[in-house]
Each structure stands twice: as C-alpha cells, then as structure tokens.
Amino acid sequence: MHTAFRLLEKGFEVVGLDNINDYYDVNLKLARLNLLGFDISKLDSQKYLESDKGVRFLKADLADKQAMDKLFQQEGFDYVINLAAQAGVRYSLKHPEAYVDSNITGFLNILEACRYNQVKHLAYASTSSVYGLNVSVPFREEEATEHPVSFYAATKKANEMMAHSYSHLYDLPTTGLRFFTVYGPWGRPDMALFKFTKNILAGLPIDVYNNGDMQRDFTYVGDIVEGVTRVVTNIPSGQESKGKDFESNRSSAPYTIFNIGNGKPVNLMDYVYELERVLDKKAEINFMPMQDGDVQKTFASTENLLNAVDYLPEVGIEEGIRAFVTWYLEYYHQS
C-alpha cells in the first residue's frame, strides 16, 4: 500500500495484486485497499477493481499461473515489484507448504511472466534472514548466505538464485532487496511492535525472546518504500556489474542484490522502553528463550544502496514508533 502511494506520487500507473489470505487480519488488508480508493464491497462479485485514485487491483494468487499470465499480457508492465510472499520465520516452522506455494511457485510464475512480456526490470523483496548464522557485522551483500536457519529464509535465498538464473538465461534485469525488520503504520500484526503495542494497551504480558538479549536493525516502512521506488528504475547491467568488487554483483548477468536497513542496530529492550515511553505505560515482560529459526543480531551494511541510488534510510525508532502508535490508536479508536 505504501509503495503504491509513493509510485503514484512519482507518476507511475499502478496495478496491485493480492490474494487477501487470512494469514493475518483480513480486515486490515481490506482497510488498506479502502485507503487506496477501492470499493471493497465489490470484491465478493468482482476480482478486478479500479480505484478513484488511479490504481487497479486484481484479487488473485501468485501461484495461479493462468491468472498471472493473463494479468501480464493485459497490462504490459514496464516494471514489476514483488513484495508478495508468505512471511514470518516462526510460521514457517509449522506451515512450510505455504512458503513453497507463494515464495517458490508464485515467484517462478512472476519470473516466467516477466520473461515472456518484455518487463524492463523486476525488483523483489528478499530478507535479512538469508544471512542466517552469519556473525560478521555489518551484514554485507558480498558475504556467503549458504546457512539459513529457517525455511522462510531458505525460500527467499532460493528466490535470489532463481532470479539470477533468469537474469543469466533470458537477460531479465532483476534486483533483490534484503529487508531488515520493517515496521510502521499499517504493518503486519505478527510483527513485534504490533504485538507489543496491542498487549501493553490491553494490560497483557509481552513475550521477549532470548531474555531480551537481541539486536535488530529496525527499518521504518517509509524508508523501505523510498529505497524500493528508487531502485526500480535503477536497472542493473551485467556489463557494469563486472566491475563491482562485491560477490553479489560479480555476475555478468543483469542481476544485483541490495540491503535495505537502517544501518543502526537497536537493542530489543531499548525498543521496548521507547514503546513504553510513547504509550506512557509499562510493559509486563515475559522473558523467553531464543526461538528456533531466530538470530541474535541483524545489522545492515547500506553502502551499496547509497552508491547505487544515493539513498540511506534515516528514520530512527523514536520517530518511527511514535508514527506507528499514532496510527494504531486512530485505527483501533483507542486513547
């Protein structure tokens, strides 16, 4: 939703796709569509909608190859941004098949549709989770990412490799974007900030893993979107890539990878304390052991993104958490 608004501001014609699944609150997804100007009451009878803000929307699944092929043929996209995936590290421990459907089959359908419809550039969301057991910080794109610790991370690593093969075989320019712990207004309810805010306001305890001894490179959604929309028109060239000195860009194919993170890891407990301050309410904390598939620290190197599109994320947790809480209280009518 945030990306669609930013693309409209930049003068793009925007078409969105979502299957509106129930991985989290469907009403939140519908509210986002409503904000974009869609009459969501028509979704029961129509799969394709046009909004009063100049955005078109198709309710469909990435794994539906026929629907994807038809959409690409009808629209003739110049650029494609894939932010759709089955997300969540912990969910992947119990529902791996959902990740194959969306993140593998769905992504293959996107690659095939881009290949056959002369798309100029495919930019897609990867994740900091591909760094897995890496302990060298900050995480740099040239480092090996061969040891994912969750199935979710494995599917996103597979996306990067699938994209490279299509870039090499079919000269399809692709850019993978490794997101680092995105948060902000309209965010996912399964993310820590959303769950913490909900429970603190309700007087319920919050679960803090690894006894709070964790650091995350929290990245505000507005910063992510600015990076994504700058990158999409920065089409990689295999010829240019040969001169780069980091491994992800050494391929002669028109393929590249960028981290999009704040570049300033925050202690998890400092994140909690800032949320308590903004809410003016103390949290009851239930300290928990490290969860399977989790890592102790994430830290993005942002040098390559800066060099490519002259941009660095800049919103700190004080501003970002306040923006989220303001949205949350308004959306859920709490004071």
* CA torsion through residues 86, 260, 6, 65, sign: negative
Segment holding 287, helix H or strand E: strand 285-287
| 209 catalytically annotated | no
265 within 8 A of 131, measured Cβ to Cβ? no
Amino acid at 330: E
Identified catalytic residue from 91, 99, 124, 152: 152
* Peptide bond between residue 138 and the one before it cis (omega within 30 degrees of 0): yes
Q: CA angle, 58 as apex, 52 and 63 as ends, to 5°?
A: 160
Q: Six-digit token pair at 18?
A: 């979502």
Q: CA–CA separation, 89 vs 3, rounded Å? A: 23
146 within 8 A of 181, measured Cβ to Cβ? no
- Report DSSP state, residue 40: G
| Helix residue ranges per DSSP H, 89-146 | 91-94, 96-99, 107-116
Q: CA–CA separation, 193 vs 180, rounded Å? A: 14
Which residues carry out catalysis? Answer: 152
